Structure 1
Amino acid sequence: MISGAYALEMARYNHWQNRQLAEFLQSLTHEELILERGAFFGSILGTANHLLWGDWMWMSRFEKRDGPDGNIHNAGGGIHESVYLCPDLPGWLPLREKIDARILNWAESLGDDPLTGSFTWYSAAKEDDFTMPYALCVIHFFNHQTHHRGQIHKMLTEAGSEAPVSDIVFMPEEV
């Protein structure tokens, strides 16, 4: 289905996208970042927090490490509370970098073999264990990132800001 090389390329893309996104977010005021915009997670910062929270949760699952609240099984309050992960951009920026570094390190060591097997994790949202193909979970992980960055892109342009270039074909080689 997919390879370790695919996961690494998507991890590179994620990092590139988030570095660009951080630049655009820093050009906005705190009030612009937290303004309710009618998105599923409300504001630009709320959506950025949810995206970061989701990445942290999936990395805690893939690496069998603690999640946002220090517990591998409980996701820091859950999906709806994820918008409150970081109260402001100065808290969000270093945590985003930290999680992106974890994603890159994980992808660099992933290889192809795990992707051919199954993956079991606990979903706090569904309050149950799930087992699915590992490759499908990895695809979901990267698709989730792209989906929510697209929402942020829309909110940035509606706010009168420019937004990051999101075409993977234009990703610099050195990322």
Structure 2
Amino acid sequence: MRIFPEYCVTMARYNAWQNAQLRAAFETLSDAELRKERKAFFGSIFKTANHILWADRMWMARLGLGEAPEGDHLSLTPTPAVWAGERYKTDARLLHWADHLDAVDLKGDVNWRSVMAERDFSHPFDLCVMHLFNHQTHHRGQIHAMLTAAGAKAPVTDILFMPEDGPWL
């Protein structure tokens, strides 16, 4: 086993803490600034935020934690306010899952068909969980850079500065 339930709890808390900071940062920018094309991988702050939410839900569905998202990954939610609410609910579900994990829950394989790659995949469950958390962190780093470029105060991202007692949401 590569990871343990304690890792999942820490990373789910980190994810929720980071997303709470993003929600606050987004409130300081206009809708136009959030949607402005910035030559980033997914274009804008808002499209990247939608991509992370969509991917989190897709991975959670593959892990048996809910339904797969419908629609395009860059336009999952129509407005920053809707994104904030959906992000909050998704983070709460991920925290609940992590808080109730047993080591045996991280065993086994995850099998899925990728429509984009047009092929089947099978990977160890714990590796897929690691990917879920790594993917979030990777793309939040892109948002951090875009927020800084937009003149907004970017979140503190170092896990070592994460509050020990929350708030997680």
Same fold (TM > 0.5):
yes
CA contact (8 A) 1:41 1:83 kept: yes
Q: Distance in 2 between matches of 1:52 and 1:18?
A: 10
SS at match of 1:63: coil
CA distance in 1, matches of 2:23, 2:87: 9
Distance verdict in 2 for CA 1:107–1:121, change over 3 Å: farther
Q: CA deviation at 1:173?
A: 1.2
> Which stretches of structure 1, 4 residues or longer, exceed 4 Å deviation after superposition?
none
Corresponding residue number in structure 1 for 2:28: 27
How many pairs does the alignment contain? 165
1:124 CA drift (Å) = 2.3
Q: Residue 164 of structure 2 corresponds to which residue in structure 1?
A: 173
Query: Quick check: 1:59–1:102 contact (8 Å CA) kept in 2?
Result: no
Secondary structure in structure 2 of the residue aligned to 1:37: coil
Corresponding residue for residue 99 of structure 2: 108
1:33-65 Cα offsets, whole Å, 9 max, x none, are: 000000111000000000111111111111253
**Are residue 12 (structure 1) and residue 13 (structure 2) matched?**
yes
Partner of 2:110: 119
CA displacement, residues 60-105 of structure 1 (integer Å, 9 cap, x when unaligned):
1112532112xxxxxx3xxxx3111112111111000011011111
- Give the RMSD, CA atoms, in angstroms: 1.2
SS in 2 for 1:104: helix
Q: Does 1:136 align with 2:127?
A: yes
With structure 1 as the length reference, what TM-score do the two structures score?
Answer: 0.89
Structure 1: tracts of 5 or more residues without a match: 70-75
TM-score by length of 2: 0.92
Identical positions, percent = 52
Please identify, of 84-93 and 11-20, the stretch whose mean Cα deviation from structure 2 is larger.
Answer: 84-93
What do residues 155-174 of structure 1 show as CA deviations (whole Å, max 9, x unaligned)? Answer: 00011111000010111111
Contact 2:63 2:125 in 1 (8 A): no
Q: Secondary structure at the match of 1:110?
A: coil
